[in-house]
Structure formats: structure tokens, C-alpha cells
Structure 1
Amino acid sequence: MPSRRLFLGLPLVMAAAAARAQPATPPIFAAGAVKHAVEEVLAPLGAGAPAAAFDTVGALRDRILGGERPQFTLLSAEAIAALSARGLVPADGVVEIGRTGVALGAPAGRPVPDIATPEAFRAALLAAESIAYADPARGATAGRHVAAVIARLGLTEALAPKLRLVRFGVEGVEMASRGEVALAFSQATEIIDRPGVQLVGLLPDALQLWTIYRAAVVQDGPEARRLLALFGTEAGRAAFARIGFRPG
């Protein structure tokens, strides 16, 4: 009988152990485009700063739609709208951060190409030894747009050998900062004022995608509301402006 009780209790023990092994959902989900501003805003909180998970807009949106519940999230307006449509964001729990465009970064100190016109931009891509951008399959806003632009310019086959797909745009920018790629696409806010990287420029107007980003409460409560207020302070707005966010 004792062995039978032990056997019957084993699934409960295993379930409890599995639950303990599951990583807790961080209080903040934030897209790569806002990463550096989020880190700046949270820095004064020191050890008391809430943890943040950074990833592509699509990956974080899908985690929330799939059942994860951070207290607070910073994503594109389109993703926030998708969460709102499912009743996951309170109507009074959203603030606009601003907009950013897709840009090119390059290792600091190197000559940069002219990308002012679609023709110059196309020539720059053909001349580059290597190019990094976020994998469109992971829901990266800039990555999806870059893939579409490359196809639109008829360069899909020509550029294939030199493309380096990364999990999200920040990683491509970091590769450029280490000199591992000649060019890296990402949102401009992931490139501006980053050590070891220079902003080559925004995509030409005819090829550009402007994306509005918003901050939103997900798991409503005092802490989520404090975060919403924190990112809406003058210091919070200044942090976003410093990395290139413009009024929506």
C-alpha cells in the first residue's frame, strides 16, 4: 500500500517540479525598437527595477495572445490593437510613445554609402559584403519590411549569399558594432547613439515604413499603472526622443 500511495503521488510531485522549473513571465515585454530607452528609464530603479523581456513585436504579441501575462508591454500600435481586440488591454491603459522608421547602420569609423534615393540604396546593398536584419518569420516589423523591399527591388537572389538573419534587429546592430557585418537593418531607434555603430540613414521615402509604438497595461494593477506613469514622465519621453522617436 505505501508503494501504491507513492506511485499515485508521483504525478503531483512531478507537476509541482515542472511548475517550479517554468520561468516566470517578466513584468515587462518590450520590442527591440524601444530597448535602449526602456533600459534608460529603468536604470535609476537599480536592483528594484522590474525585469524586461526584449524580442520582436510579433514574438511578444503572440506570447501574450498565447496566454502569458506581463504587467506591461511596449509594442507597435498594430500589435497593441490586436491585444485590445481580444480584451487584453484596458482602454485607459495605453499611451503613445512615438514613431520610428527603418534605417541602416554600419560599423563606426568606416565610410558609409549613399542611400538617399532608391537607386543609390539598391547600389549600396549590391556593393555591401554582408547585411544583417531580423528574421521576418519571427514577426520583426523591420525585418518583414526589409524582406519586402529587397523583393520589390528584385534583389532576393542577388543578396541571398550575403544576408545574415538574426533573431531580432538589436542583434544585427550589435554584429555591426563588432565589425561582423558591413550593414545592419533595424528600426532607427535601435541604431542611433549605439556604441560602435553609425547611422547610415533612414530608407528613402519611397521605400520607408514608419511604425508607431505604444505602451500598454496588460495585467492591470498598481504596479502596471506605476510603469505606465513612469514611461509617461518627462524623463521617460526624453529617453525615447534621445534614441530617435518622433511624435506620432
Structure 2
Amino acid sequence: MPRFIVPALLFLVAGMLSADARDLRILTGAGMSMPVRALAADYGKRSGAQVTVVSDTAGGVQKRIEAGEAFDLVIGTQAVLDALTRQSKVSATHSDLAQMVAGIGARKGTAKPAIADARAFKATLLAAKTISYVDPASGGITGVFFLSQADQLGVGQEVRAKAVLKPNGTGVADAVASGQAQYGVTLISEMLPNAGVTVWPLPDDLQMSTIYTAALASDAQNAMDARALLDELSGPRGRDASIKAGLKPVSH
């Protein structure tokens, strides 16, 4: 057998495998990363699609897409997806998935802080030595939200003086677990994966109302798998995964 036949066959097989592989690229807000990654990994195993999940702050997701980063499915805040729709970056059809739930985290083993209501939460913030939250400059809406709540409580200046700023919620959780910060305030879904942190939801009168929603890219290269995964995220399995991640599912 001529020597060139084996390399030629290998090249042909590699080409066939490459053609069969279906890439599915997802951009998601960090607060939805936990349920999205769980369902995406399972979907990839069952479907054969090569799924890539990239998470960032809400503002970071928007900047990535506006800069031309390729994606098939995006999960972000309603405000971000509305902006991307106006730019014709995503489909005008959006699917609401879950409501953000903000919480306060402390190092594992720490007693639950007083957060039963706004007055108790204010006292806890004043007594805290250090508080970590997402730097608003990074594009994360939880930092903006937390500071607005602190300002409404009349302790915004004090909170800023104790700040341990991080680029994302994962960094906030790490700061708390390592002892760099006494408390961390961000999305529960961003702190739960860190075993060194215990987290409690903020009181209802201080809670977030922001919704995570999803849409396909206007020029999605793999719309078939993107739609199939979105159906799962919008269905019972997505609901269960969102609850497990500390998010509040929305009614469809």
C-alpha cells in the first residue's frame, strides 16, 4: 500500500469528524452561570454538540457582543437584551428564565447576621468591618443595586469606605471565604458554588426584581441546538436548576 494512503485516510476521517461536530456557543450573565452550565453540559453529552459557555457581568456580556464576539445563545438582563435587540444583534423573541436573588454571604461557620428587615440590615452594614461587592465599573448590576440600597438606607458613604471591590460575584465569594471581607453582597447564585461561604437572601423589601432572559443571536450559526437548549432552560429542568442555584423561576 502506498505510504500516502494512510495520511490521506486520516485526513479524510478528521474532516468527517469536524463536519459532524456541532459547536454551540453560549454567553451568559454570571448569575445564571450555574444552571446554564449544568444543563449545557448534560445537553452536550446527549446531543453530541460541542458546547462552550462563557460567563461575564451583564455589562460584560453586552460589550462582548457589541465587539463582535460570536455566539448562538445569550442569557442576560432584560435591559441588555433590549439594547442588543435594538442593534439587531439578537432575535426580538426573548424568553424570561429566572429572577435574580441577592444575598449576603459570610465565611462558613459564621452566625447569621441580622437581616430580618431594612433596619436590621442597615445596622449590620454599619457594624461590618469590611464588605465586598461587585465593582459597578465592571458592568455588574449587583454592585449598582447594592449601593443604591445602601444610599436609600442612609449608609452609602459608610459602605463605600468599607468596600472590598471585585470584578464579579465569584470574586466577592472568594473574598469572603478567604477572610479578606467580613461580608459579601451579590447574587446568591454566584456565592453558592463556594463551599467556604454561607449565604442568606436579603429581606423582601430590599430584594432585586431583575429578570434574566434569553435570546438567539440574529446570525446564530447553530440555531437548532440553541433553540433546543433554550427549550430546556425554559422548561421544568431549567426551573429546577434555577431553584438549586438560588434563583427564583418566572412563570411562563
TM-score category, normalised to shorter length: 0.7 to 0.9
Q: Which residue of structure 1 lines up, in the alignment, with residue 122 of structure 2?
A: 122
1:55 matched to 2:30:
no
* Structure 2 unaligned blocks of 5 or more: 1-23
Match of 2:158? 158
Aligned pairs for 1:74-113 within 5 A: 74-92=75-93, 94-113=94-113
3-state SS, counterpart of residue 35 of structure 2: helix
The alpha-carbon deviation at position 70 of structure 1 amounts to 1.3
Query: AA paired with 1:140?
Result: G
Residue deviations 1:174-194, cap 9 Å, x none?
322333321111112223464
Shift of 1:124: 0.5
DSSP 3-state at the match of 2:246: coil
User: What corresponds to 2:36 in structure 1?
Assistant: 38
Describe the shift of the 1:125–1:49 C-alpha distance in structure 2 as closer, same or farther (beyond 3 A): farther
Counterpart mapping for 1:193-212 below 5 A: 194-202=194-202, 204-212=203-211
Contact kept, 8 Å, 1:42 with 1:49, in 2: the verdict is no
Residue equivalent to 2:74? 73
Match of residue 15 from structure 2:
none
Gapped regions of structure 1 (runs ≥ 5): 1-25
1:229 to 224, 228, 231: 231
**What is the CA–CA distance in structure 2 between the aligned matches of 1:175 and 1:79, rounded to whole Å?**
28
Runs of 4+ in structure 1 off by over 4 angstroms are: 46-49
Aligned residues: 221
Q: Give the alignment of 1:177-192 within 5 angstroms.
A: 177-192=177-192
Q: Using the alignment, how far apart are the partners of 2:171 and 2:156 within structure 1? A: 22
Q: Is the 8 A contact 2:49 2:225 kept in 1?
A: no
Q: TM-score, normalised by structure 1?
A: 0.79
Give per-residue Cα distances to partners, 1:11-66, cap 9 Å, x unaligned: xxxxxxxxxxxxxxx92111111111122113333696522221110111122123
Distance 1:234 1:101, change over 3 A: closer
SS at match of 1:225: helix
Change (3 A) 1:105 1:86: same
